[in-house]
Structures are given as C-alpha cells and as structure tokens.
Amino acid sequence: MLLEAVYHRPKLNWSYAYDSETIHLRLRAKKDDLTEVYAFAGDKYIWNQSKELIPMSKFASDDLFDYWECAIKPAYRRLKYGFLLKSDDDEIWMTENDFSKERPPVPDRLFEYPFINPADVFKVPAWVKDTVFYQIFPERFANGNPDNDPAGVLPWGGKPERDNFFGGDLQGVIDHLDHLSELGITGIYFTPLFEATTNHKYDTADYMKIDPHFGDTEMVKKLVQACHERGIRVLFDAVFNHSGKTFAPFVDVLEKGEQSRYKDWFSVREFPLEVNDGVPTYDTFSFEPLMPKLNTDNPEVREYLLNVAEFWIKEVGIDGWRLDVADEVDHQFWRDFRKTVKAANPDAYILGEIWHESSPWLQGDQFDAVMNYPFTDAVLDYVVRGTLDAKGFANAIGRQLSRYPQQASEVAFNLLDSHDTPRLLTLCEGDKNKMKLAALFQFTYGGTPCIYYGDEIGLDGEQDPDCRKCMEWNPDKQDRDLFEFYRKLISVRKDLSVLRTGSITFLHAEEGGSKLAYERRLGKESVLVLLNNYDAGQTLEVPAAGQAWHDAMSGDS
Amino acid sequence: MLLEAVYHRPKLNWSYAYDSETIHLRLRAKKDDLTEVYAFAGDKYIWNQSKELIPMSKFASDDLFDYWECAIKPAYRRLKYGFLLKSDDDEIWMTENDFSKERPPVPDRLFEYPFINPADVFKVPAWVKDTVFYQIFPERFANGNPDNDPAGVLPWGGKPERDNFFGGDLQGVIDHLDHLSELGITGIYFTPLFEATTNHKYDTADYMKIDPHFGDTEMVKKLVQACHERGIRVLFDAVFNHSGKTFAPFVDVLEKGEQSRYKDWFSVREFPLEVNDGVPTYDTFSFEPLMPKLNTDNPEVREYLLNVAEFWIKEVGIDGWRLDVADEVDHQFWRDFRKTVKAANPDAYILGEIWHESSPWLQGDQFDAVMNYPFTDAVLDYVVRGTLDAKGFANAIGRQLSRYPQQASEVAFNLLDSHDTPRLLTLCEGDKNKMKLAALFQFTYGGTPCIYYGDEIGLDGEQDPDCRKCMEWNPDKQDRDLFEFYRKLISVRKDLSVLRTGSITFLHAEEGGSKLAYERRLGKESVLVLLNNYDAGQTLEVPAAGQAWHDAMSGDS
C-alpha cells in the first residue's frame, strides 16, 4: 500500500457538509492500490454506542489516484472519524496523524467534523443545474434600435476590431428572444451592460447606469421581465476588480491627485498618476491604464460596490452575477458580497471568473461556481488539440470532480469558448463533427452548460477581438444543421434528469486513442454515452446490463 | 521520483501571503526523494521578462515527507508559478494539472497566486510570540476576599470535586501578581469569569457580568490595569458555543416553550425541552443539559455575542479572547467575531479551543491560534509516554509546522496541560526530570508557551476535577527548585530572540531511542538544544560550526 499517496484533510473537498444533515467524506489513494475503503465513524461523546464502519466507493480517478467517498448523516450533526484501508495484502487504519496496523482503541486522535452549522453549509441555487446558459456580448448580438448607436457605428457584420462599434443593444436582445427560446435556452449571461467607453464595457464609467448605447434602466427591466416570462434567467457582469478610467472617483483622482477625497478608492503606488515604460504608477488590471484596480480594503468602496450588487437585483430582478477577474479581489469582499446578494435574492447564482483551480472560492462562503476553464481545456485537449487521449481526458475530468464539494460540481459553469477565447468552431478548424463531439460531452455532463452567442449557428472567430463578431441573423447564412444539433442536445438534456444530476462513471477510456464511453446514472435511470473522435466508425464494447435501451438523440429503440 | 507523494495546492498552507508583499510557496515530496526544488515564477502579464527559477529549501520533514519552501516578493503582488523538481536521476516540471519532462512553454497552465490583497493577509499580533502565558482557573488560584465566597465554601486546599467551591477570586489574583512577575509571566489566560453556576463557569448565566464570587467589573478593571502595569496581557474566555441553563433567554424558553421570544436563540430539536435517556431534546455541548447550544444562525444571537466580545475589550481593555469549543461554532460567526474584535483592538489575540488540526480556522479570517493540543500530544508521547522515539517526535513537530502558514506557527499556543487534562507532573508520574525535559522543549520552541497555574511549584492532579486543585501558597510546600527551573527557562527565552522567532532544524533524532538535538537559528544567532530522555548521561555528536558557544542555562562558556 503506497501510504505517500493517501490523502485526507479536514474540511474543503475532503470532509464537507453536503446539506444540513449530511457529511461527505473523501479519501485519495494511489490508483488501483486499494480494494476496499471504510470510514470508521461515530459521535465522540457516545463513541462506543455510535461507532461504525461505513463502506466508501470510488467516485473518481485521475492518472495517479483514486478518490473514495461516502455520505453520512450523523444523528447529532457531529462526527469523529478515521479510515480503514484495505489492499490485496494489507489493512491499515488512518488517523489524523498516523497510519497504524491496529484499530484505534479510542477516538481521541481521529479526524473530526465538529458540527454541521447551517451557516457553513454550501448551498447552491437548485435551478442552475437545470439551466442551459447562453452568453451574450451585447454590442454584437443585435441592433434593435439604431437611434442609440454610438457615433461612427459600422454596418452590421463588419470585421470586429479592438475599438469599433456595430450598435448592438438591449432592444436587439428583446427582438431575438424567440431564437433563444427555440434553441431551448433558459439562462443568459450578459457581458457588462453598464456605461463604459469600450465596446466590451469592462472599463465601467458608471455602475448605476445602463450604457446609453445599449438602452436604459427601463429597457433592461423590460428585457429581464420578458426573459422571466419565457423562463429565462439573467446574469449581469460585475466588474469589481477595477473600474474604468472614466469612473467619476478615478477622474477625481486624476484631476486632484493626492488631494482627491477618492485617492484611497484605488491603489496608487506613487503620485502623480502616470504611465512609465508601460507601467502605471497605480495598480491596474494587468498593466492596463484604462482599468485602475479598486481598493476593496476601503470600507467606502466596499459599501459602494455592495450597494451596486444589491441595487440591480432589487431594481430589475436579475438572477445572479458573473464576477470579472474575481480572483484578484479579496476573499473578505466576496464573503460580504455573498451575504448581500443572497439576502437580496436567496436564489441568486454567483459565478466568478477564475481560470484555475478554484477551491479557495468554492467552499460555500463566496461563489457558487466559476467559469470552468479547466473543463474547457480538458475537452479541447481531447476533442480538438489531440493532446489528451480518451484516458487522459477521463483522468482530467476525474481530477476536476475530486477538487470540489459535490454541490460545486453540480452547478459548475461549463463553457467551451467565450469572448476571451477563440470560437469553438475556429478551434475545431471548421470541423463541425469535432464541434458537435465537444458539445455532446458538454451537454451530457453535470454542471450547467453555456453556449457562446452564435456558436449554435456556425459563427467563427479567432482570439479577441475576432471572436466578437456580429451575430448572423440571415437564416440563409446560419448553419441550421448546427442549430438543430444544439436544439436537440438541449432538448435531450431537459428530458433526461439523469444528464443533469446523475453520477458519472467512465466505462471505457482508450489509451493512445479517442474512444470513450461513460455512464450517467441516477437511481434506476442510466444514460450511456459513446464518443468517437476518429474520422471513421469504430467498434467499442462496453458493459451494459440487459435493460431496454433507446437512442436518446434519434429516439430509436 | 515518487510523483504520488508530490503535493501542492493553491492557498492554505501551500501558497499564502506572509505579509503584504511576500508570498510563501511550499511543496511536499517523498522524504529524501528530491535533491533540489525550484519555483518557476513570474508575473503572468509580463511573463517573459519576469520569469525566474527560485530555489526552495527543505523547512520541515515528517515520517513520509519533506516540505520545501521559498519566499517571493513579486513586484506587482501577483504570481504565476510552477515547480521544477530534481532528484538524482530525474527532472520534472509540475504545473497545476500535470507533471512534465518539458519546461512549460507558456504560463497559462501554471498555478496562480492572483493578487496579495491586504484584507486577506493573515496578520497576527506581534507581541504574542514574545509572551509567556499562564493559565488561571480563578476559583482555585487564590481567595483574596472571603466576603464574596459562595455558600458552602470549603477550606482552601481541600480535594476538588466536580461541584465544590474554595473561594478563589480576582482579589486573590491581584494579591499574587508578584508571583507571576517573579516567574517572568507576561500573559494570563483566565478560564471564564462571567456569572455561572459551576466552579469552572463554562455554563454562563450572564455574559455581561463578572461572577459575584469572583468580583465585579470594577475589580476586573483594576486587575487588568495592574497586569498591564507589569507588562502582563490578559485573555478572557468566551463560551459562545453554548450558554448555561440559567442564561436568561434559555430560562425564558424553559418557561414559555415555543411561545418564548427566545426560542430561536437555541437549537431545539423538539418541544418540550426535556432529557430522554440522557439525550436532551435540544442541541447542547456533548449531551450536557446544562449547556444548551447557542444558535449563531440567528442574527440576534450573533449581535448579542459580538457585543459581548466588543464590550469587554472596550470596557476593561483585555488583550484577547480564548474561545471555548470553538470548532463547533460556525466559521461565518468567527469571521464576524474577528472583524469586531480587531476593530476594537487591532492587537487582540484570538485563540480558539480546538484539539485537532486547525487549518480551516487559521487562514487569517478567523483565529490567530488554537490551544495546540497536537503539540501537547507529541511532547507527551515522546517525553512521558515513550510512544514516540526522538525521530517520531521530530517527525510529529515537522508535520505540525507543515500544516499552517508560518505566522500561525509563530503564535501557536503551546501548552503541556490545562484544566481539561491531567497535570504535567502527574503525567510524568512525579518524575521532575521528565517534566523539566518537556518544559525545556516547550520553551526552546517557537509559538507562545503557556504554564498551567501551579505547575511551576509542583502542583499535581489527575484528570478533571483533580487537576483543578487549590494553588499552594505556602512557600514551604512549594517546589522552589521547579519554580527556579521555570524562572530560568523563561529568562533564557526572553534573552534569546532566536528562541522566539528562529527557524528550527533537527540535527539528530534518534531512532528507537530518545536522544534529540535541534538548532534554532535567526540570522547569525544560533541555539543548540540537546535532549536526553534516558535515566543516565549520554553522548551525542552534532554538527556545530566553530563558533564560540556558551551554555544558555548555566551561563558557562
């Protein structure tokens, strides 16, 4: 037994409250090393009457490790526990500090989950896992009202540049909600809508005002109401890491320097504010002078931003926030943010932009989910880049599942592209089959899938700004086959709750090739998914018990 | 290279801000497996200009692993990083998801420390590591005022029982501060002082009132002032997990049941409040009906308790709080508690009672330290019980150091006994040499040492209630040799800052025996400590460079 590979520590993804009465325990071990694992658990105050051995099962694997798990509902919400590890030829007990051949005679040195306190339980909105999201970049989705176009607006469909405008607006979104409903979309994530100077609006000028080129508060209320009437939820984008250069407090600091009453709203390393050799004398996003970093250590700034967060929920009834550059803002702020947002709307979804492992933010006190770019990477490495074989892909997915509490995985925001990446079709070099394969995994996996506007009708585009092309509304120029594929995928996902909430087991993951088979299971319901990333048909044998199967995509039995 | 043993994950004890400009990175590997480890780090926005290889050094080891560490001050407070691992015959690069033979060509998939935000930096009070604490159980320390004795008080020095009283009080403490000053004490941790029915006062009746058998608010102010004049800081004990049965809100619930306006101040599983087969129908500490668990999910309860925390800091100027049964209270509450306490006194020390690995509470947002019982266990296993040899002991200490950010280890509350354990002398079966050896380690190690009242003059006692004997004030009955030993230890610790803030390296740790040698080092200052737990003298060769050494205990050169 390789003891160096065995891992457990209290809390985090290793022992957490799944709900107000259930504790999940997890243990990591070397891949294929253990044959059985048990939690040895009880109430420390009545140890002898309550202690029991609870079998754990393997719920995920990666290239080096297996991850074992069990769920326990302790009668008095507290748990003392250790583990019993069995391999073919060995039995070892694991306590908090040690491994031993002997069963621990007393519970003192076992691990402990002291108490399930409701305040600490990571609760995610139930609606998210049943939602299919669609990301809209408003300047490029549809121009519904030419009257509010910016000066110098270009004809719809031109080549997107860093600084040009095509006049997309909120009326345009309202005009095209039928398109989303036809596709089956039930959630929209809007990149920023507040007044700003750029076409992407990530340089906020006024957090309390809809950009006049998009519309106004009344228009956005109308839009949100129209969405809600169709069962579509709406996320706004909060750019709280930095403001824009035209944000009034920053303008004041630019004008008055150290005399500005807003000087502590930002993080100025040295006055005067200037840029030397490309480096601003104040903290910014990256080294971008347009985007001065907000100082959330300042109570005034915190109060201002929390008020913004609350205002748009109460004023227009949004269903959550996507948080830009979320990992560069302090954890304390996000904790206050969660309290404010969930008080205003207990069902709000809080989605952070983080491109990395995000466990520090996914413990129940900050976000519900992050933009799941590690998911994106794994799917693209497997389907598009070919840098992962099926086995490597299954391992990458297993590793991701192991990292977070189950409720976080249930509402993970699983995207394949965005305004910050090349388009999926372009990554696939125009190969629609590859694109469909990637989407097939996305829609038959847990979490909440998100389609970047236009992917569904064949929009392509390289890295930003090219990935921000105008939406194609001419049906003759839309790829209706692709649209139909996405529509079908979404419809199948909606029909089969197992695809939204079932467990996943990889039944076959080819080494050195791309054949992959996995099962989603929920109670007696089971869906088998077979992926073939070869150019030609393949044969694959997988274990499938003798039930009645039918093809979910074609409906054939 | 055993890749299964290699561990790193973002934040926690693995990558954390040591101060507002310094990031510590740590990596775990199989013991003696790696010869060199480097952090491969830079600013992601100017990767090519900033990336560098930073050597890491082994800062701790346990039985299975080595722990490597480096400190980095990134110019713009953000860091992208991976690791380069070298063994005798191998070189491997580690990224967030993978190991590779190739140097990562781009930083995208490395780990990330997104930004050092001041709000997230774990700041501990600077005075703590220079303090020597003394724990006082007030009912048994000294009776300075017979007028406030409880009814039925017994003559001083009688046998302690669960429910008897000897009349100790605050005047008694004031009367004996000379004893503490002579010993060299600079901090007192008082077990609870608030009104309660028991002799230990862990069943609070009134959080705003000093127990009348101890004194009153004026008396405690006088005591704290007298302590401060002597350079002694004072911690109070906050019992916020549960109240006592005589706490007015609970009395109201007992009287009015579901009609009580305080019914949500507690966690009642079922009305009426009663005890069936030893199990109360309401949540309690353990199954103790006297101690109903407070419902910190209720905003009224939170506000009440936070007000208590603030009141005693502002009213009498205490220097911190020790928190009873801290791990059974929710994390959210402790986060608010920290904000309240540090706002009232930025230098306050927050000390949680947790008997286990405590990393979930030691990240900078909750406690500064915990009652370090894992330290207690390790020292006792080695010195007293003999269940750890010197090597096992060094491994246990190394494991503890690896678990927490450095600043947490610097203010760890290192005790060898308390009101909740048998007395050290009793654990040593009266063997003073063993007791001295344990104390020698305690005072030549980092963190803040605490002496349980009376240990220094030879008080003994079995598990509670026997460990709560009356303090012996008759000099003829005090063990003055022991007192002198402690006085000397404290004085040496005060003289040598290296003992308070230096690094620790184990130079020799005998396998199957008890000989131990370690070095504490701070810059050019070095202290060598040799422990011999045999009955007879021993010879031990240790590497000690040719400097001038002198015996810190005897003063001999």
* Residue of chain A nearest B77, judged by CA positions: A283
Q: In this complex, do B65 and A4 lie within 8 Å of one another by their Cβ atoms?
A: yes
Question: What would the mean pLDDT of A35-51 be, rounded to a whole number?
Answer: 97
Q: How far apart are CA B147 and CA A31, in angstroms?
A: 70
- Does A433 contact chain B (CB < 8 Å)? no
- Peptide bond between residue B272 and the one before it cis (omega within 30 degrees of 0): yes
CB under 8 Å to A501, separation ≥6 — which residues? A129, A410, A446, A522
Domain B131-238+299-496, CATH homologous superfamily name and number = Glycosidases (3.20.20.80)
Between A207-216, B426-435, B528-537, the lowest mean confidence (pLDDT) is in: B528-537
In order of B136, B215, B221, B321, the CA distances from B170 in angstroms are 10, 6, 10, 18
Q: Report the mean per-residue pLDDT for chain B.
A: 97
Chain B positions touching A264 (Cβ under 8 A) are none
How far is the C-alpha of B149 from the C-alpha of B171, rounded, in Å?
A: 12
pLDDT digits (tens, 9 = 90+) for A16-25: 999 999 999 9
Side chain identity at A370, as an amino acid letter? V
Structure-token pair, residue A319 = 């269903």
A19's CB contacts (< 8 A; 6+ apart) are: A121, A123
Q: What angle do CA A292, A295, A298 make, to 5 degrees?
A: 150
Of B77, B117, B399, the CB nearest to A97: B399
Cα B147 versus chain centre, distance: 36
**What is the Cα–Cα distance from B395 to B398, expressed in whole angstroms?**
5
Q: How far apart are CA A91 and CA A89, in angstroms?
A: 7
Query: Residue B120 and residue A45: Cβ atoms within 8 Å?
Result: no
Of chain A, the percentage scoring pLDDT greater than 90 comes to: 95
Side chain identity, residue A172: G
| Amino acid (one-letter) located at A215 | G
A–B: how many Cβ contacts below 8 A? Answer: 122
Chain B residue numbers touching A7 (CB-CB < 8 A): 7
The answer to whether residues B310 and B341 touch, using CB atoms and an 8 Å cutoff, is yes
DSSP letters for B93-140 = EE-SS-EESSPPSSSTTSEEE----GGGS----TTGGG--EEEE-GGG
Tell whether the model's pLDDT for residue B395 goes beyond 80: yes
What pLDDT, in 10s, does the model give residues A453-502? Answer: 999 999 999 999 999 999 999 999 999 999 999 999 999 999 999 999 99
Interval B401-417 mean pLDDT: 98
Pick the CATH number of A134-232+297-499 from 3.30.1780.10, 3.20.20.80, 2.40.10.10, 3.20.20.70: 3.20.20.80
Would the CA dihedral through A427, A433, A435, A440 be positive or negative? Answer: negative
List B residues 107-166 in contact with A (Cβ-Cβ < 8 A). 109, 111-112, 114-115, 117-120
Q: Which two tokens stand for residue A513?
A: 């090739």
Which segments of B244-284 are extended strands (E)?
A: 275-276, 279-280
CA distance B11 to chain A (A): 7
Collect contacts of A161-165 with beta carbons under 8 A, ≥24 apart.
A161/A465, A162/A465, A163/A198, A163/A199, A164/A199, A165/A139, A165/A199, A165/A213
Contact criterion met (CB < 8 Å) for A286 and B119? no
Task: Assess contact for A142 and A168: CB atoms under 8 A.
Answer: yes
CB of B334 within 8 Å of a chain A CB? The answer is: no
Closest-CA distance, B399 to chain A, in angstroms, reads 8
3-class SS string, A158-195: CCCCCCCCCCCCHHHHHHCHHHHHHHCCCEEEECCCEE
Question: In chain B, positions 228-267, which contact chain A (CB-CB < 8 Å)?
Answer: none
Between the two ends of chain B, the Cα-to-Cα distance in Å is: 46
Which pLDDT does position B541 carry in this prediction? 86
Compute the radius of gyration of chain B from its Cα atoms: 25
DSSP symbol at B380 = I
Contacts of B276 (CB under 8 A, 6+ apart): none
Distance (Å, rounded) from C-alpha A467 to C-alpha A461? 4
pLDDT tens across A72-104, in order?
999 999 999 999 999 999 999 999 999 999 999
Q: Which residues of B40-78 are buried (b: 16+ CB within 10 A; e: fewer)?
A: bbbbbbeeeebbeebebebbbbbbbbbbbbbebebebbb
Residue (of A475, A483, A430) closest to A453 by Cα position: A483
For A280-335, write each residue's pLDDT tens digit: 999 999 999 999 999 999 999 999 999 999 999 999 999 999 999 999 999 999 99
Output the pLDDT for position A546: 64
Cβ–Cβ of B78/A114 closer than 8 Å?
A: no
- Pinpoint the alpha helices (H) of B358-405: 373-379, 390-403
Instruction: Tell whether B276 is within 8 A of chain A (Cβ).
Output: no
Locate the domains of chain B by residue range. Answer: 3-120, 131-238+299-496, 242-293
CB within 8 Å of A30: residues ≥ 6 apart: A1, A2, A5, A6, A64, A65, A66, B4
In whole numbers, what is the pLDDT of chain A averaged over residues? Answer: 97
> Are A97 and B3 within 8 A, CB to CB?
no
Alpha helix positions (H), A414-456? 424-427, 432-443
User: Any idea which residues of A carry the catalytic annotation?
Assistant: 324, 353
Interchain contact A269–B (C-beta under 8 A) = no
pLDDT in tens, B22-50: 999 999 999 999 999 999 999 999 999 99
Residue B557: predicted pLDDT: 72
Q: What six digits make up the tokens of B187?
A: 């901090």
Q: A432-443 and A480-495 helices cross at what angle (nearest 10)? A: 20
Tell me, yes or no, if B386 comes closer than 8 A to chain A by beta carbon: no
| Whether A397 contacts chain B with CB within 8 A | no
Give the nearest chain A residue to B285 (CA atoms). A45
Local structure of A205: helix, strand or coil:
strand
Mean pLDDT for the stretch of residues A153-175: 98
Lowest-confidence region among A147-151, B343-347, B538-542: B538-542
- Who has greater pLDDT, B479 or A552? B479
For A61, the token pair is 């694997």
Give the closest of A3, A111, A357 to B64, CB-based. A3
B412 bridge partner residues: none
Beta carbons of A119 and B331 less than 8 Å apart: yes
Contact A328 B115 (CB under 8 A): yes
Contact A5 B10 (CB under 8 A): no
Q: Write b or e for each residue in A56-79: b if 16 or more Cβ atoms lie within 10 A of its Cβ, otherwise e.
A: bebbbbbbbbbbbbbebebebbbb
Query: Given B4, B45, B355, which is nearest A286 (Cβ)?
Result: B45
Q: How many CB atoms sit inside 10 A of residue A399's CB?
A: 21
State whether B396 and A97 contact (CB < 8 Å): yes
- Cβ-based contacts of A2 with chain B (< 8 Å): 4
The average pLDDT across A142-168 equals 98
A554: left (phi over 0), alpha (psi -120 to 50) or beta: alpha
Using a CB–CB cutoff of 8 Å, tell me whether B30 touches chain A. Answer: yes
Q: Cβ B374–A45 below 8 Å, yes or no? A: no
The dihedral over CA atoms of B495, B500, B504, B506, expressed in degrees to the nearest 10, equals 60
Question: CA quadruple B226, B229, B235, B238: dihedral positive or negative?
Answer: positive
A394 in reach of chain B (CB within 8 A): no
Tell me how far apart the alpha carbons of residues B331 and B352 are, in angstroms, rounded to a whole number. Answer: 12
CATH class, B242-293 region: alpha beta
Kindly report the nearest CA distance between residue A524 and chain B, in angstroms: 34
Beta strands in A320-426 (DSSP E): 320-323, 349-352, 369-370, 413-415
Cis peptide bond N-terminal to A543, omega within 30: no
The dihedral built from the CA positions of residue B324, B330, B331 and B337, taken in this order, carries a sign that is negative
Report the top-level CATH class of B3-120: mainly beta
Find residue B406's DSSP bridge partners: none
Chain B neighbors of A354, CB-CB under 8 A = 114
Task: State whether A119 and B287 contact (CB < 8 Å).
Answer: no
Residues of B taking part in catalysis: 324, 353
| Alpha-carbon dihedral angle through residues A338, A339, A340, A342, given to the nearest 10 degrees | 80
CA distance B362 to A283: 29
Chain B residues touching A117 at Cβ < 8 A: 296-297, 328-331
Contact between chains at B7 and A7 (C-beta distance less than 8 A): yes
**Surface of A (44-83) touching B: CB under 8 A:** 45-46, 64-65, 76-78
- Asked if B310 has any chain A CB less than 8 Å from its own CB, the reply is no
CB B448 within 8 A of CB B185: no
Give the model's confidence band at B439: pLDDT under 50 very low, under 70 low, under 90 confident, else very high: very high
> In chain B, which residue's Cα lies nearest the Cα of A353?
B114
Q: Do A357 and B96 touch (CB under 8 A)?
A: yes
**Does the predicted interface ipTM exceed a cut of 0.90?**
yes
State the nearest Cα–Cα gap between B215 and chain A, in angstroms.
34
Parallel, antiparallel, or unpaired: how do β-strands A233-238 and A187-190 relate? Answer: parallel
Give the gap in angstroms from C-alpha A328 to the nearest C-alpha of chain B: 5
Return d(Cα B412, Cα B361) in angstroms, integer. Answer: 13
Would the pLDDT of B546 be above 70?
no
Is residue B342 within 8 angstroms of chain A, CB to CB?
no
Strands (E), B299-396: 320-323, 349-352, 369-370
Comparing CB atoms, the residue among A329, A356, A374 nearest residue B112 is: A356
Torsions phi, psi for A516 (to 5 deg): -140, 135
In 3D, which of A55, A78, A121, A85 has the Cα closest to residue A407?
A121
- On the CB side of B397, how many CA atoms lie within 13 Å of its CA? 25
How far is the alpha carbon of A447 from chain B, nearest alpha carbon, in Å? 20
Mutation target vs A (from B291, B356, B372; most A CBs, 10 A cutoff): B356
Rg (CA), chain A: 25
Task: Provide, as residue numbers in chain A, all residues whose Cβ is less than 8 Å from the Cβ of B354.
Answer: 114
pLDDT in tens, A492-551: 999 999 999 999 999 999 999 999 999 999 999 999 999 998 888 889 888 877 667 889
Q: Looking at chain B, how many residues does it have?
A: 557
Amino acid letter for position A330: D
Q: Chain B residues with CB inside 8 Å of A328's CB?
A: 78, 114-115, 117
**Which residues have a Cβ under 8 Å from the Cβ of B443 and sit 6 or more positions away?**
B132, B449, B489, B490, B492, B493, B499
Q: Are B555 and B527 in contact (CB under 8 A)?
A: no
Return the structure tokens found at B130: 């220079």
| Closest C-alpha among A22, A50, A47 to residue A116 | A22
